[in-house]
Chain A
């Protein structure tokens, strides 16, 4: 079973920009892995931010964007807000089976 890797923690200043990445033990992440990104705050269910690499839902703040970068999936936050402090998870699909990354704890400080 593939292992999906994320940075355990990152810190960004208010108004700053940060990029979270999502790698696969099987090699480069491609659009065929249909990368997803989720945000989870303490005591809440996850919320889907990005689907299929770079698509946003109607509820996704415009400051979040998704892409492929250097063989990984990436989530970029431009203009961080205090309310963006949360755990972020990526999800990759492997022929119908899905695997989450371990999560990135993002601190806005």
Chain B
């Protein structure tokens, strides 16, 4: 079955960077996009960006441009999301979610990774 398994919780200090991984299984890794979405405590879902695992091309939400980098490793069917210059407002649960190549939206979601930014 299709599964996305994310890395474990992280605690970071302001100004640091965090890199979250998402390992895919149960389907052809390069046949679907991968989104990253975050959710701050008590808030709604926020789209961060998308990566095409086939060629590695990316598109980021304007809010995160210059601070986020999405990469992939096709040999391990894993995508990564790195967010730099962390501030307290980046405290959130970060999700990866598989995306359709035609309609772009998500079908299967990872379990989420909690990132806490605190001094």
- Which A residues are closer than 8 A to B by beta carbons? 1, 34, 36, 38, 40, 45-48, 51-52, 57, 87, 89, 91, 93, 96-103
| B→A interface (CB under 8 Å) | 35, 37, 44-47, 50, 59, 61-62, 95, 97, 100, 103-112
Chain B neighbourhood of A102, CB < 8 A:
44
Residue of A nearest to B47 (CB): A98
Residues of B within 8 A of A34 (CB): 103-105
Decide if A45 touches B107 in the complex (CB within 8 Å). no
How far does the alpha carbon of A51 sit from the alpha carbon of B104 in the complex, in Å? 10
Once the chains are docked, how many angstroms separate the CA of A56 from the CA of B68?
32
**A55 CA to B45 CA, complexed, in Å:** 21
B61 adjacent to A97 (CB under 8 Å): yes
Rounded to whole Å, the gap between the CB of A95 and the closest CB of chain B is 9
A48→B47 CA distance, assembly (Å): 15
**Residues A103 and B103 in contact, CB atoms below 8 Å apart:** no
8 Å CB contact of A36 from B50, B106, B109, B110: B106
Instruction: List the 5 shortest-distance A-B pairs measured between CB atoms, nearest first.
Output: A36-B105, A34-B103, A100-B45, A45-B109, A103-B44
Which residue of the partner chain A has the closest CB to B4? A45
B45 nearest CB neighbor, chain A only: A100
B94 to chain A, nearest CB (A): 11
Contact between A52 and B105 (Cβ–Cβ < 8 Å)? yes
Please tell me which one of the listed residues A97, A98, A100 contacts residue B44 in the complex, with CB atoms under 8 A apart.
A100
Within the complex, the shortest CB–CB distance from B91 to chain A, in Å, comes to 16
Complex Cα distance, B95 from A101, in Å, reads 17
Kindly list chain A residues whose C-beta atoms are within 8 Å of the C-beta of B104: 34, 93, 96, 98
Complex Cα distance A80/B109, Å?
25
The answer to whether A96 touches B59, judged by C-beta atoms less than 8 angstroms apart, is yes
What are 16 contact pairs spanning A and B, CB under 8 A?
Answer: A1-B61, A38-B45, A46-B95, A46-B106, A46-B109, A48-B105, A51-B103, A87-B44, A89-B44, A93-B103, A97-B47, A98-B47, A98-B50, A99-B47, A100-B46, A103-B44
